[in-house]
Amino acid sequence: MSQKEEFLVQVAELYYQQDLNQQEIAKIFNISRPTVSRLLEEARKRKIVEIIIHSPIAKNYELSEAVREAYGLKNCIVIDSRAGYQETLKCCSTAAANFLHSVLESNLVLAVSWGSAITYLAQVLEPRVYNNVHVVQMVGCLAAGNPQQDGIEISMKIAQKLGAGYSNIFAPVFVNSELMAAHFLEEPRIVSTMEKINIADIAVMGIGSVGDRNSILSTTESVLPHEWKVLKEKGAQGHLLARMFDADGKEIPIPGKNAVSPPLDTLKKIRWTIGIAVSARKALAVKAAVRAGYINSLVIDSGLADALLKNN
């Protein structure tokens, strides 16, 4: 072992085994605290120090970093795929719930969508009370299906776990004319909700792919098979906030259906936009959402991560 490596070992032992802080180590060796920080980083790079994190969820750190770098994300968490779509989605939603707690703090606005991923997140989110947090529903309500997967139930459940206030959009997810959509968006309670979405600090949502039979828009018959077909023909690849978009992130309207939700560009103003998605078949939708700037952090499974790297 070289003299430099021996020095790195001493610094690392003081920091990791004897619990001295960087300033204390700097005084011992008569060096600056930033120098200590650089030495610890070098010790990790040289494998003198190896950090093992015992997490209840199996995360693939190599894939996480590869996807984060390839797509310029603020953060990416990749979960090893499980046997079955729902089980994998539950694991991703649990990881997203844990990550949410790491960025959530008092005096913030948290915006949420609906669907299976966010339903699971609301179920597994660990109760923790914050001061002056507000939870806001981002999309109108679904016409049918499981009420637990709808925005009102989800925002209420998350708010209860966080000791937070909440606001809802008391309107259907789609209305049949732009005039009707404008009417709902002028309703005072919805105006108040939209104002909170506009100042949201964090948004958490599932990322939908066009025509996916597992999508809540399909299972509730909010979008019908022939409408998915038309959307695909027009180049639609994914959806967020019940709004369809193509490979460039440009919105593609559904004929006769106007979403009661904020414009997609609203997402670009939010500090943390966390997207949850599972399965390689969502690669094109996720890629488009990230490239357009709608999503800046991902929680995905390893199958989708591999597909994203191949399609980069």
Residue 272 binned pLDDT confidence (cut-offs 50, 70, 90): very high
In a domain? residue 51: no
In a domain? residue 56: no
72 and 27 in a common domain: no
pLDDT tens digits along 116-175: 999 999 999 999 999 999 999 999 988 655 566 777 889 999 999 999 999 999 889 999
Task: Give all strands of the β-sheet with 202-206 in edge-to-edge order.
Answer: 75-79, 297-301, 272-277, 202-206, 109-112, 134-137, 165-167
For the domain that residue 41 is a member of, what is the CATH number? Answer: 1.10.10.10
286: tokens are 């996720």
In a domain? residue 286: yes
The average confidence (pLDDT) of the chain is 91
Q: What's the pLDDT at 179? A: 87
106 and 28 in a common domain: no
Please count the structural domains in the chain: 2
In a domain? residue 192: yes
Range of the domain at 66: 61-310
134 and 88 in a common domain: yes
211 and 70 in a common domain: yes
pLDDT at 197 over 90: yes
The pLDDT of 271-290, averaged and rounded, is 97
pLDDT tens digits along 50-62: 887 766 677 888 9
Task: Report the C-alpha dihedral over residues 134, 140, 143, 148, rounded to 10 degrees.
Answer: -20
Query: How large is the C-alpha radius of gyration of the chain?
Result: 22
23 and 95 in a common domain: no
Q: How far apart are CA 48 and CA 46, in angstroms?
A: 5
Do residues 237 and 245 lie in contact, with contact meaning Cβ atoms separated by under 8 Å? yes
CA atoms within 13 A on the CB side of 192: 8
For the domain that residue 250 is a member of, what is the CATH number? Answer: 3.40.50.1360
In a domain? residue 50: no
